[in-house]
Amino acid sequence: MPRYGRRVNLSRFAGRTIKLSFLAKTDEERPTTFYVDEVNLE
């Protein structure tokens, strides 16, 4: 299973509540299922 990583600086939101969203795009022929694993906030 492919793994993807990305670092994003969220320091401007320190002390605030944020919502993280994950989006998968697919076509009608091949439905996609994905799992989010190991999300870390430091």
Contact between 22 and 36 under an 8 Å Cβ cutoff? The reply is yes
Three-class DSSP labels, 1-42: CCCCCCCCCCHHHCCCCCCCCCCCCCCCCCCCCCCCCCCCCC
Contact between 17 and 41 under an 8 Å Cβ cutoff? The reply is no
pLDDT digits (tens, 9 = 90+) for 17-39: 999 888 777 777 777 777 888 88
In the chain, what are the domain boundaries?
1-42
pTM for the model stands at 0.48
| C-alpha to C-alpha distance for 36 and 1, rounded to whole angstroms | 12
pLDDT of residue 33: 76
Question: 16 pLDDT exceeds 80?
Answer: yes
| C-alpha to C-alpha distance for 26 and 32, rounded to whole angstroms | 6
